[in-house]
Amino acid sequence: MFAFIVSRVLQAVPVMLAVALISFAMFAYVGDPVAIMLGQDFTEAQRAALVSDLGLDQPFFVQFLRFIGNAAQGEFGLSYRLSRPVAELIGERAPATLELAFCAAIIALVAGVAMGVYTGLYRNSWLSRLLLTVSLIGVSLPPFLVGILLILVFSVWLGWLPSFGRGEVVQLGWWSTGFLTWSGIKALILPSVTLGLFQLTLIMRLVRAEMLEVLRTDYIKFARARGLGNRAVHFGHALRNTLVPVITIAGLQLGGIIAFAIVTETVFQWPGMGLLFIQSVSAADIPVMAAYLVLIALVFVTINLVVDLLYYAVDPRLRIGRAVARGR
Amino acid sequence: MAPILDVRDLRVEFPTRRGTLTALDGVSFAIEPGEVLGVVGESGAGKSMTGAAIIGLLEPPGRIAGGQILLNGRRIDNLPHEQMRRIRGREIGAIFQDPLTTLNPLYTVGDQLIETMQTHLDLSGGEARQRAIGWLEMVGIPAAAQRVDSYPHEFSGGMRQRVVIALALCAEPKLVVADEPTTALDVSIQAQIIALLKRLAREKGTAMMLVTHDMGVIAETADRVAVMYAGRIAEIGPVREVVKDPRHPYSTGLMASIPPLDRRVEHLAQIDGAMPRLSAIPPGCAFNPRCPHVFDRCRVERPELLETGATRAACWLYDPASEKQAPEALRHG
């Protein structure tokens, strides 16, 4: 088990290095930081001083290694746009995005699995047909449109929920949370539904397809022939066998929720990392963009590791596969 | 003795868009306590369908359209789902064909045994586990106390079928429906599994309906045998008589296609043609287009099971009323 985790972490290292290289390359190829930082009037001496301050006169590999060294300590330099440490900026914004992604993921998983199981078990009921039809709309509508429609209905027409921002937040150390105030919770609803809707329909359709597949298998028939009740057959035997593919997709989708919260955050002016990223892109604020890129890669790598560990927990056949491969 | 299972005039239909298909028609037989009834026939003859109807697990849209199934004198074909569920596993055990796919891959064999026993019997976790180990020993799994925590994929096919047998018997049903229990196994393993089934059925006094297309298995195991053809029983009787002296022309053909071991034969006998599809069963006797002894009555009237010697055969050859029509030379005997 431990060896498995170590090997997985080692496999992640080249991925992170590749991403680091790409984000590092942005400094060299997207705009000239020296020109941006110096502004209009400068002397050659000022320029040279800044270049040596930033270490830009060093060879490529030295610069890259220093970038990696700094990045490993969470140090991505100063934002060109705001002249503040990037780590601080991201640290301020991360709680907003993570809380939003968390809510969206919970909505997508809980409702997606429940609806998937229901439509798989009662595939001819009118509710299943309705859910499937509505889910088609959910899959095909782009999130920004869903967000705008939700704002129109719940904020403009009904006036129930706020159309932008996080509401009141409470500071718990460096973490700012919207869960502790009523206005914070209300502000979370629309964006997290918008963000989770696509994943929800995807997970629902996946669980449904897997359930239909598993319910046809011999071991389900045999479980019934042994006289097990519907509950045991459906949830103990069938649902658990659908979990491996569902975990794979749900894991990737969770990464997607965090990475691509950009659109939803923009629509709802949600003060998270995605909004920060979009603002940084328009200002060519490369340190922030580079840090965001590395961070998202880290999120995906971590989620993949967790997904692999979950496989391990869910499917005993994979355990033996690895044991045999190791020559037990 | 009252039969443990009494199937009377069972009819199973599949409503389809192009009309209703009759998969089983007028199937009647009984199984005595402790008796092994073999059911043979070609693929699609309705053997497995009969088993599925008895355990109440016909694949939809299939349904029992007529007749009765009595278990210990109690009708079970029209029970509500929940009551039928309590009978499955507890009073009727089932063994399926392919042991590689009948066990849930995600649970240990012990968990599956314990789950089954606790569904039907009032046992604590510890007692159920002890019994699970006992059952694994009984079906001949070595080091059962350790193997109880193994997953299905850690067993070979033959061992898995032993586990399936333990699962079918663990709530001590008085009847077991075994659907092709050896078909998916190596020939050398088949004999072991058959011997195990025979031994357990005898020790526990369990009656068994053994569905197979393997006449060797039937001859080895069964007390009586039912030959099925196109959803009907063609002949039923003691296994010795049916094998040695089959009466129905279809049984005769079936037995003649078993290679004898004690002498050389140039060609094995075969039955020309193929069993009709369910949508195109001919009128009269379903076997008449392939029958070497066919005469006019066979093409019009459907024969019921008629007493002939020690067995009963659904064939007009044995009806005194058709004596005039049947060519004398072809009469049996």
pLDDT digits (tens, 9 = 90+) for A15-67: 888 988 888 887 777 767 777 777 777 788 888 888 887 777 788 888 888 88
Q: Facing residues of B64 across strands? A: B12
- B172 and B320 part of one domain: no
Instruction: State the DSSP H helix or E strand holding residue A308, giving kind and residue range, or none if neither.
Output: helix A286-314
The gap between the terminal CA atoms of chain A, to the nearest Å, is 13
For testing the chain B interface, which of A222, A310, A324 should be mutated: the one with the most B CBs within 10 Å? Answer: A222
pLDDT at A208 over 50: yes
Token look-up 């206005």 returns A183
Inspect the interface and report whether the beta carbons of A236 and B115 lie closer than 8 Å: yes
Q: Round to whole Å and give the CA distance between A59 and A62.
A: 5
Nearest to B167 by CA among B209, B98, B110, B222: B110
At B268 the pLDDT is 73
Inspect the interface and report whether the beta carbons of B104 and A219 lie closer than 8 Å: yes
Inspect the interface and report whether the beta carbons of A317 and B88 lie closer than 8 Å: no
Inspect the interface and report whether the beta carbons of B94 and A225 lie closer than 8 Å: yes
Question: A74 in the Ramachandran plot: left (φ > 0), alpha (ψ -120 to 50) or beta?
Answer: left
Amino acid, res. A76: F
Q: Round to whole Å and give the CA distance between A248 and A254.
A: 10
For testing the chain B interface, which of A210, A214, A226 should be mutated: the one with the most B CBs within 10 Å? Answer: A226
| B326 confidence band (pLDDT: 50, 70, 90) | low
At B102 the pLDDT is 92
At B327 the pLDDT is 53
* Structure token pair of residue B158: 């033959």
pLDDT at B330 over 70: no
For testing the chain A interface, which of B104, B116, B118, B149 should be mutated: the one with the most A CBs within 10 Å? Answer: B104
How do beta strands B74-75 and B63-71 pair? antiparallel
CA distance B214 to chain A (A): 22
pLDDT digits (tens, 9 = 90+) for B212-230: 888 888 888 899 999 999 9
**Which residue among B167, B202, B222 closes a domain?**
B222
Amino acid, res. A145: L
Inspect the interface and report whether the beta carbons of B102 and A228 lie closer than 8 Å: no
Average the pLDDT over each of A162-176, A221-235, A280-294, B109-123 and give the range with the smallest value.
A162-176
Inspect the interface and report whether the beta carbons of B102 and A236 lie closer than 8 Å: no
pLDDT digits (tens, 9 = 90+) for B241-298: 888 888 898 988 888 877 777 777 777 777 778 888 888 888 888 898 888 888 888 8
* B332 close to A (CB below 8 A): no
| A270 confidence band (pLDDT: 50, 70, 90) | confident
Q: Across residues A256-279, what is the average pLDDT?
A: 86
Domain ranges of chain A: 89-325
pLDDT at B328 over 60: no
Q: Round to whole Å and give the CA distance between A315 and A56.
A: 51
- B155 and B256 part of one domain: no
Cβ contact B308:B236 at 8 Å? no
pLDDT digits (tens, 9 = 90+) for B143-154: 999 999 999 999
Q: Taking an 8 Å Cβ-Cβ cutoff, which residues of chain A contact chain B?
A: 217-219, 221-229, 232, 236-237, 240-241, 314-317, 320
pLDDT at A136 over 80: yes
Q: Across residues A85-114, what is the average pLDDT?
A: 89
Interface A-B, measured as beta-carbon pairs within 8 A, has a size of 79
Q: Across residues B49-66, what is the average pLDDT?
A: 90
Closest chain A residue to B88, measured at CA: A227
CA distance A228 to chain B (A): 6
At B85 the pLDDT is 92
CA distance B176 to chain A (A): 11
Token look-up 């979950």 returns A310
Inspect the interface and report whether the beta carbons of B119 and A229 lie closer than 8 Å: yes
| Architecture of the domain delimited by A89-325 | Orthogonal Bundle (1.10)
Question: What is the number of domains present in chain B?
Answer: 2
Cis amide leading into B181 (omega within 30): no
At A44 the pLDDT is 83
This complex has an ipTM of 0.87
pLDDT digits (tens, 9 = 90+) for B58-94: 988 889 999 999 999 899 988 998 999 999 999 999 9
At B323 the pLDDT is 62
Indicate the average pLDDT of chain A.
84
Q: Which of A222, A227, A320 sits opposite B120 (nearest CB)?
A: A227
Q: Which of A218, A227, A320 sits opposite B86 (nearest CB)?
A: A227
Name every residue whose Cβ is closer than 8 Å to that of residue A181 and which is 6 or more positions away in sequence: A167, A168, A169, A170
At A326 the pLDDT is 42
Inspect the interface and report whether the beta carbons of B106 and A314 lie closer than 8 Å: yes
| A226 confidence band (pLDDT: 50, 70, 90) | very high
Q: At what angle do helices A182-215 and A86-121 cross, to 10 degrees?
A: 40
Inspect the interface and report whether the beta carbons of A315 and B154 lie closer than 8 Å: no
Domain of B309 in residue numbering reads as 229-330
Inspect the interface and report whether the beta carbons of A317 and B89 lie closer than 8 Å: no
pLDDT at B329 over 50: no
- B84 and B217 part of one domain: yes
Percent residues over pLDDT 70 in chain A: 96
Q: Which of B115, B119, B153 sits opposite A317 (nearest CB)?
A: B153
Amino acid, res. B259: P
Closest chain A residue to B168, measured at CA: A226
Inspect the interface and report whether the beta carbons of B102 and A232 lie closer than 8 Å: no
Q: Round to whole Å and give the CA distance between B5 and B12.
A: 17
pLDDT at A324 over 50: no
Classify A136 as helix, strand or coil.
helix
At A320 the pLDDT is 56
At A155 the pLDDT is 84
pLDDT at A80 over 80: no
* Structure token pair of residue B68: 């009765």
Closest chain A residue to B56, measured at CA: A225
At B115 the pLDDT is 93
Instruction: State the DSSP H helix or E strand holding residue A86, giving kind and residue range, or none if neither.
Output: helix A86-121
At A308 the pLDDT is 84
Indicate the average pLDDT of chain B.
88
| B325 confidence band (pLDDT: 50, 70, 90) | low
pLDDT at A76 over 90: no
Contacts of B168 in chain A (CB under 8 A): 225-226
Amino acid, res. B115: E
Q: Which of A223, A314, A320 sits opposite B104 (nearest CB)?
A: A223
- B122 and B156 part of one domain: yes
Q: How many CA atoms lie within 13 A of B177 on its CB side?
A: 24
Nearest to A235 by CA among A96, A118, A126: A118
| B309 confidence band (pLDDT: 50, 70, 90) | confident
Q: Which of A218, A227, A316 sits opposite B89 (nearest CB)?
A: A227
pLDDT digits (tens, 9 = 90+) for B86-136: 999 999 999 998 888 999 999 999 999 999 999 999 999 899 999 999 999
CATH code of the domain in which B194 resides: 3.40.50.300
CA distance B46 to chain A (A): 18
Name every residue whose Cβ is closer than 8 Å to that of residue A279 and which is 6 or more positions away in sequence: A81, A285
- B24 and B40 part of one domain: yes
Contacts of B104 in chain A (CB under 8 A): 219, 223, 237, 241
Q: Of residues B205 and A1, which shows the higher confidence score?
A: B205
At A236 the pLDDT is 87
Inspect the interface and report whether the beta carbons of A232 and B167 lie closer than 8 Å: no
- B86 and B142 part of one domain: yes
